[in-house]
A and B are shown apart, each in its own frame.
Chain A
Amino acid sequence: MHSAPPVQKVSIPLTRYKMRGNREWKPVAPMLFDLRALASGLLIPTAGFGAAVEPAAHLEKRAQPMGIDVSSHQGDVSWSTVVANGVSFAFIKATEGTSRGDSTLVVRNANVSFQPTRTLTSPPNILEPPTLVLFVAAITLPFPIALLVQLRPISSPPTVGAGVAMVSPSQAPSTLNVRITYFPDPLDLPAKHPPFIG
């Protein structure tokens, strides 16, 4: 197992920053800042930093944004805590194999509604996976659609699942509008099923 990388610290010209909530907008003494403090919105750049800079944008444009993927194993997620720790995106598992247990996780965490589900035929596989239930999800603005086929390691049941992905979990759950529908049998499309409505 690989532990998380160490917290990055940089020296920031603090005359260009103010503390959120400080109406005086006084410069504060130079010091080292945890970059995650910027991600959490505790520090925001003032106008002197650059006209085009949005709060935390300077940080978010660094390489390798960090994310998490969660399932029912994690239960309810405190997104405010997650964001405060520098997480920029998240996957939420919607299904796995025949289980719809994770569907409720998505509902709780991303304010989604579900359409009726349907059982699919399992893919041909040397390890005889169980029958599948697949969902697809579409995340409406301001988030792009990002879907996944999850193929598990051979040491685990080789099920195929589907999940939803979102950018900026800081906006979950109140402003996320996610609609999930089931993924019809690929061989049946499109005549027998209603169009994708995400």
Chain B
Amino acid sequence: MVSWINDFSNTYHARVDRYPVIYTTTDWWTTCTGNSAAFASSSPLWIARYASNVGTLPNGWSYHTFWQYADSGPVPGDQDYFNGDMDGLRR
């Protein structure tokens, strides 16, 4: 799984000069990648955790970029926060 993600990320980066965001849960990442830290320095993390805080992040990421904090709310769809301000989001 790690090598597949690595292939995808590197190829994608080569085409558009940007790494993909990785959406996952800490549980999934731990189970399916052995809690790999290989992507933390390149791919922004979009963590899914329906709780009052983001909890323990997958290995290597010291902060999240997006947080999916609920699967429903006052507006349609899953609910997300961006960890920063609007200027950061536009980058």
State how many angstroms separate the Cβ of A90 from the closest Cβ of chain B. Answer: 8
Q: Which residues of B lie under 8 Å from residue A165 when comparing CB positions?
A: 21
Given contacts A2-B52, A151-B29, A151-B32, contact A167 B90 (CB under 8 A): yes
In the complex, residue of chain B having the shortest beta-carbon distance to the beta carbon of A78? B76
Q: Which residues of B lie under 8 Å from residue A1 when comparing CB positions?
A: 50, 70-72
State how many angstroms separate the Cβ of B23 from the closest Cβ of chain A. Answer: 5
Decide if A55 is an interface residue (CB 8 Å cutoff): no
Decide if B59 is an interface residue (CB 8 Å cutoff): no
Contact mask for chain B residues 59-82; partner A; CB cutoff 8 A; 1 contact, 0 none: 000000010111111111111111
State how many angstroms separate the Cβ of B70 from the closest Cβ of chain A. Answer: 5
State how many angstroms separate the Cβ of B27 from the closest Cβ of chain A. Answer: 6
Interface residues of A in 47-67 (CB under 8 A from B): 60-67
Contact call B28/A66, Cβ cutoff below 8 A: no
Q: Which residues of B lie under 8 Å from residue A160 when comparing CB positions?
A: 8
Q: Which residues of A lie under 8 Å from residue B29 when comparing CB positions?
A: 151
Q: Which residues of B lie under 8 Å from residue A85 when comparing CB positions?
A: 74-75
Q: Which residues of B lie under 8 Å from residue A2 when comparing CB positions?
A: 50-52, 69-70
Contact call A69/B77, Cβ cutoff below 8 A: yes
Contact call B22/A189, Cβ cutoff below 8 A: no
Decide if A74 is an interface residue (CB 8 Å cutoff): yes
Q: Residues of B within 8 Å of A, CB-based: how many?
A: 55
Contact call B70/A138, Cβ cutoff below 8 A: no
Binds B, one of A11-19, A20-28, A118-126, A170-178: A118-126
Contact call A148/B16, Cβ cutoff below 8 A: no
Contact call B16/A136, Cβ cutoff below 8 A: yes
Contact call A154/B27, Cβ cutoff below 8 A: yes
Decide if B37 is an interface residue (CB 8 Å cutoff): no
Contact call A189/B14, Cβ cutoff below 8 A: yes
The 8 Å CB contact of B20, one of A62, A82, A148, is A148
Contact call B77/A74, Cβ cutoff below 8 A: yes
Decide if B35 is an interface residue (CB 8 Å cutoff): no
Q: Which residues of A lie under 8 Å from residue B79 when comparing CB positions?
A: 4, 66-68
Contact mask for chain B residues 2-14; partner A; CB cutoff 8 A; 1 contact, 0 none: 0111011111101
List of 8 A-B pairs having minimum Cβ-Cβ separation, nearest first: A123-B4, A70-B77, A186-B11, A148-B21, A68-B77, A60-B86, A67-B80, A186-B7
Interface residues of B, Cβ cutoff 8 Å to A: 1, 3-5, 7-12, 14-16, 18, 20-25, 27-29, 31-32, 43, 46, 48, 50-52, 66, 68-87, 89-91
10 A/B residue pairs, CB under 8 Å, sorted by A: A61-B86, A64-B84, A78-B76, A88-B89, A123-B4, A123-B8, A148-B20, A153-B25, A167-B86, A186-B11
